[in-house]
Structure 1
Amino acid sequence: MCTARFTHINETFDCGYCGHRVIPHQHGSCRNHCPSCLYSRHLDINPGDRSSDCGGLMPAVKAIIKQMDQVTLIHRCNQCGIEKSNRSAPDDDFEKILEIMRHSN
């Protein structure tokens, strides 16, 4: 789902937390977190706009089951504290997601 405030960016990046080389998402949506450690980076005000000056690392602090096959990750910026929600990806480390679920209750 694209809105007027959504900029589609799906490119390779190196994770700022674990250094993993993250390849573009293969299922048509945008990749915004590392599938290995689940960290994101605070780059956007609106998805894909790259207009945030913060740049802080954002660990996944909560995982919410939305549907049987869909988990939403909540990332909190270590620098400014903002929280953003993001869909999990099929290649995300499921053990890490379960660990987040266990520790966020």
Structure 2
Amino acid sequence: MSFKKNKEDFDCENCGESVVGNGYTNHCPKCLFSKHVDIDPGDRLEGCHGLMSPIQVLAEGDSYILVHKCVKCGFTKRNKMSVTDNIEAAVEIARKIANK
């Protein structure tokens, strides 16, 4: 797996937030949704293009990882959270899991 840096701005298809990409941006910092567009990070070769719902938040060392699941095909992927991500949205994801 090789990483291809793509600096792209986008409008979130889930919440409509206008997101300014930095080359590493993989999900909306407001609602934490992503889009299933990559086979390898940054390649934009995946044909699914489904929305990826944030389903879990994991703590790994001093970082947090979002787990996304594609609502179209079921593919799951882990992505590191950014300091600009909405922490309240991450807490709500963790709360939903804890209440299951």
TM-score by shorter chain over 0.5: yes
What is residue 32 of structure 2 aligned with on the other side?
A: 38
Could you tell me the percent identity over the aligned residues?
A: 39
TM-score (norm 2): 0.92
What is residue 67 of structure 1 aligned with on the other side?
A: 61
2:3 aligns to what SS in structure 1?
coil
TM-score (norm 1): 0.87
**C-alpha root-mean-square deviation of aligned residues, in Å?**
1.2
What is residue 42 of structure 2 aligned with on the other side?
A: 48
The residue type paired with residue 56 of structure 2 is K
Q: Take 2:53 and 2:7, find their aligned partners in 1: how far apart are those partners?
A: 20
Q: Take 2:53 and 2:75, find their aligned partners in 1: how far apart are those partners?
A: 11
Within a 5 Å distance, the mapping from 1:1-105 to structure 2 comes to: 5-25=2-22, 30-68=24-62, 70-105=63-98
Q: Take 1:10 and 1:73, find their aligned partners in 2: how far apart are those partners?
A: 20
Q: Take 1:88 and 1:60, find their aligned partners in 2: how far apart are those partners?
A: 11
How many residue pairs match? The answer is: 98
Q: Give the unaligned 5+ runs of structure 1.
A: none
What is the deviation of 1:55? 0.3
Q: Give the unaligned 5+ runs of structure 2.
A: none
Q: What are the superposed Cα offsets for residues 3-51 of structure 1, whole Å, 9 maximum, x if unpaired?
A: x6211112211101111000123xxx60010000000000001101101
